[in-house]
């Protein structure tokens, strides 16, 4: 598995800045964060009693506070960063 490159992580950080997602950590009020080198892929369902692995999912960028570890996620689609599977493999 290929982890996110520094370039991909910088692109996510730039998009968050562009969208104004720049306030300090809501838990410790520090301002240094790390974009994790992997996505969080959350399974989604239209049935609350079913968790289906391998079905539909919500791909998320993961941002971690460097001081307290508070972790937040941002939907890649909302940031305009969703890639079709073939685009990922073309690299
Ligand atoms: Zn924090």
CA of 61 to the centre of ligand 1 (A): 17
Write the CA distances from 91 to 18, 35, 40, 88, integer angstroms. 25, 20, 21, 6
Residue 89 counted as domain residue = no
Residue 90 counted as domain residue = no
* Alpha-helical segments (H) within the chain: 6-18, 85-89
Residue 1 counted as domain residue = no
Residue 87 counted as domain residue = no
Q: Domain of 29?
A: 6-81
CA of 22 to the centre of ligand 1 (A): 13
Position 50 scores a pLDDT of 84
**pTM of the predicted model, to two decimals?**
0.84
Residue 72 counted as domain residue = yes
Position 52 scores a pLDDT of 82
Residue 91 counted as domain residue = no
Position 85 scores a pLDDT of 60
User: How would you write the pLDDT of the chain (91 residues) with one tens digit per residue?
Assistant: 689 999 999 999 999 999 999 999 999 999 999 999 999 999 999 998 988 888 899 999 999 999 999 999 999 999 999 976 665 544 4
Residue 86 counted as domain residue = no
CA of 25 to the centre of ligand 1 (A): 5
Position 90 scores a pLDDT of 47
């Amino acid at each position: 598995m290929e982890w996110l490159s520094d370039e991909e992580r910088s692109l996510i950080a730039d998009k968050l800045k562009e969208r104004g997602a720049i306030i300090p950590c809501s838990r410790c009020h520090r301002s240094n964060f790390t974009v994790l080198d992997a996505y969080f892929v959350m399974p989604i369902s239209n049935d609350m009693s079913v968790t289906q692995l391998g079905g539909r999912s919500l791909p998320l960028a993961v941002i971690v506070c460097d001081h307290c570890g508070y972790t937040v996620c941002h939907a890649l689609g909302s940031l305009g960063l969703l890639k079709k599977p073939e685009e990922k493999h073309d690299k």
